[in-house]
Structures are given as structure tokens and as C-alpha cells.
Amino acid sequence: VASATLLAACGGGGGAPEAAPDPAGAVIEVGSLYEPQNLSNVDGGGQGGNEALTGNVYEGLFRLTDDGEVENLLASDYSVSEDGLTYTVTLRDGVTFHSGKALTSADVKSSVERVTAETSQSARKSSLATIAGIETPDERTVVFTLDAPSISFPYNLSYVWIVSAEATDLKNAEDGTGPYTLGDWKRGSTLTLTRWDGYWGEPAANAEVVFHYFTDASAQSNALLTGEVDLLTSVQSPDALAQFEGNPDYTISEGTSTTKELLAFNDRVAPFDSVEVRKAVYSAIDREKLLGAIWGEYGTLIGSMVPPTDPWYEDVTGENPYDPELAKTLLAQAGHPDGFTFTLDTPTYDPHPAVAEFVAGELAKVGITVEINPISADEWYSKVFQERDFQATLQEHVNDRDVVWYGNPDFYWGYDNPDVTAWVEEAEQAGTVEEQAATLKLVNQQIAKDAASAWLYLYPQIVVASSEVSGYPVNGLNSQFFAFDITKG
């Protein structure tokens, strides 16, 4: 990063001119609601780990840009065999890990195997299940052999952090190749990234990035107002925006969101093993009113897991319309004319508590009683995601192209439709992106017909920053937050 030294104007009394602060030496203070549970991408680190570490501390063979494009990163080039079953990747020269170890094909092999291992808790594990073998003919070449063609293979590899094969204790430490190293992590408070002088590419435009973690959206907004932080990675309510609108000291940026607010049923257990019950619950909720209550004029209604930015998007919001009378009819058909009672496991951070109260109020109108059970993010991960010990839950799903998870009957919500599973497999083996999109549109339509989950709304993606700060990403795809281009002053 080239920077010019600017001289400040001298005061009237004379004296030596003062140099303006060097932007490359800036410390960027970031406010976030998503602290990592740990620093590993295969041990339930959560979206906070992706936000702070993806692209900053760890890099993949490929990178998903903030615009949603897949580009080479640690891979300098790759080729695909005519039958689509072999990907040969050539590694970039001159890359070293923060420990000083040179990047080799063995590190790539071990990194991918960490994600696909039986003990891995990575949500992307199933996306890489098609890998039949990984060979390393030399230090700069990796050969992936697949069981079946995978049109999304480079995209799926963009989620894999390349970690030194010699690294240990990756829940609490790191050894990546990115433009920052891990500084102090004060759990419950801050996580610091420090610019790494040995980075193979363009150095970070700032010297340090400090993520400040908040459990309350109001406290996060107050931190920006008081100057404790320079920007907020995402705003969780429109009420917070009112403090910054029309104020030249702040910039509000609305990007493209892929974050879906879900009322996720456990489709394995009664009463949510019934399509009629799921559709009844969905039609009993006034989603437009809910979106307005939570986000005001921001956000979008969706009728399935597919946001408008995915190539296979179709508007299916009409499949499960808001219609309380229809909901009552469906409940009666399902054998619940007087309704039923269920427990809704609700994360304690915003906006889930408010969403839960709204949903409970709506369902009460059709005779359904909701018992709200507040749980922490850690509890959600163990109780809901790992143990599947729940009836229904609220959760935000941040990734794009994640409709394919409905093709996995083992995923936490337990949706199992053989047609959908087959279509997901067929789409992945498509010869063209057009064929892939056409097949996944069938998935989009079917999960809506089955009300596999209740997709309440698509979050807006809003970043609020001090007007002195620039170069930050605004789309936040998959909760990643590239910090290396941010400057201040």
C-alpha cells in the first residue's frame, strides 16, 4: 500500500509542521455481535470465526469475493478432466504460513481432510463428500479425484481454510497464510488481528483490526456513537439506524444479504413430521407484519431458502400465504383441531427473542401454544445442531447457495424428501450452470410445498461506519468480513 506523507498546516505561532497520521498505521475498531465459540472451522467455531478469520487470517485455494464471484487465491491455476472427475490444482509460489513454514500440497490435503473427517462439525462437510481421494505428486500440485462430477467444487473449496499441517490447538491458536496474524483474544470482549509483514500478497492497508463483541444491539450502536468502534459489521434493528441517519459523521451502506431468518422445524418429530402441520404454522404467521416490526422498511420476504442473489431463485412466497383460516383447516386435517403446544428453542441474541414473541402471538390465534426456551449460542449448537434435541428453533442462516442442505436428511432439521435429495445430487453433476439452476429450482419449489421450514424473511445487510472509515465490505456473504482494505482518516 503506497501512502504519501502529508504535512499539516502550521499554526499561527510557527514551529515545525506535524505529519498527518499514516493510514497504513491505523487501528480499525470493529463492532460485532458474533464472537467465535472457538477459532476452528471444524469444531463449531460459529459464524464469528468466519467473520473474523476468513480471508484475514486464513485463506483458501479459492476465494468468494464480496460480490459473490469465485476467484483463485492460494491456487494459481487449476484444470478439470474431460469427465469432470479430476481437478488438478497448482499452488501459488512463495506462500508461507505465519509460523514460517512454506505452503505445500501436503498442507492442502490435510486441510481438506480436516473438513471431511468423521469428527468434523463443518456445515460444508457434506458438500465435499464427493471427494474420493487426494494425491500430492509434488509440493505444488494437488490432485482431487471425485466420485461424481461436481460443478460447484471450486466454490465449495473456497470454504476450506488452508491450515499448516503442523499446527496444533486450532481452537485457541492459528497458523494461516492470510494478511493478519492473531493477536490477543480476550474472550467475551475483543479479538485482535495484527498485520503480518511476511504476507505473500498485497499487505493490509491498516496495522491492526480489533473486533469488539457485544451481546446487545443497543450497546453495539452506542459504541459507534461514542467512538469506541469505527464501524458495525451488521445492524440488527431499524431502531439503531435512526441514530445515524442524516448525520454526516456516519455512513449507512445497504448491501446484498444472504441471511435468512428461519423458524426451523425438527421434521423428524411430532407434530412437525406432518406437512399439514408445518404449512399450518407457516400460514398462521403474518410475515410482512413481522418484517416491519423487526426491520421497518428494510429486508425482504422470501418463501424458501433461496435468496434473490442465487442463480436458482424463484418467488415462491405465495406457496404458503398468510391465512389464519387456512391454518386452522390444515390443523384440523392433521388431527389437531384444538391446536397443540410446542417448545421453541430461541437464541438469546437479537433479533430472535423479539421474533419468538411475535411468532408465539400469531400462533396463539390459531390455538397453538408456544413455550419459548431461551438458549445461548453454545447451547443452540450442542442441543439443536449436534444432538437434534428440539421441536422447533429460530436461527439465522448466513450462507448463499445453501438450499442444497435440504437434500441432506442428516442435517439438523431432518427434512427427508427422496426427490429433493436426488435433485440436489443431479444439480451438482450438471454439465452447465444453466442445467444446475433449472434443477435447483425444482428443489426450491418442493421445499416450499412441503414447508420444510418456515422462512420468515431475508435480513437486510446494513453496515454503519464512521465517515472517516472506507474500504470495508458491505455484502457480508457467508458472514465473512474482509478487513484488509479498510482505511481510516
Count of helices and strands (H, E) across the chain: 12, 20
Residues of the chain with pLDDT under 50: 1-19
- Sign for the CA dihedral angle at 44, 48, 54, 58 comes to negative
The count of other CB atoms within 10 Å of the CB of residue 348 is 13
Which triple of cell numbers denotes residue 139? 509440493
| Residue position matching grid coordinates 470454504 | 159
CATH 3.40.190.10 assigned to 180-257+461-488: yes
Residue 296 is predicted with a pLDDT of 87
Residue 216 is predicted with a pLDDT of 83
**Which pTM was predicted?**
0.79
Helix, strand, or coil here: 192? strand
Which triple of cell numbers denotes residue 448? 416450499
Q: What is the pLDDT of residues 388-447, one digit of tens each?
A: 999 999 999 988 889 999 999 999 999 999 999 999 999 999 989 899 999 999 999 999
Q: Which CATH superfamily is domain 58-158 in?
A: Dipeptide-binding Protein; Domain 1 (3.90.76.10)
> Could you tell me the residue ranges of all domains in the chain?
58-158, 180-257+461-488, 260-458
Residue 21 is predicted with a pLDDT of 60
Distance CA 107, CA 97 (A): 10
Residue 124 is predicted with a pLDDT of 81
Residue 334 is predicted with a pLDDT of 98
- Sign for the CA dihedral angle at 411, 415, 419, 420 comes to negative
Q: What is the pLDDT of residues 377-387, one digit of tens each?
A: 889 989 999 99
260-458 fold:
Dipeptide-binding Protein; domain 3 (3.10.105)
- DSSP secondary structure letter of residue 383: I
List strand residue ranges (DSSP E) for 323-460, in order.
Answer: 341-347, 369-375, 392-397, 454-458
User: How many Å from the N-terminal Cα to the C-terminal Cα in the chain?
Assistant: 15
Distance CA 418, CA 421 (A): 5
Question: How is 457-486 classified by DSSP, letter by letter?
Answer: EEPPEEEEEETTEE---SS-GGG----TT-
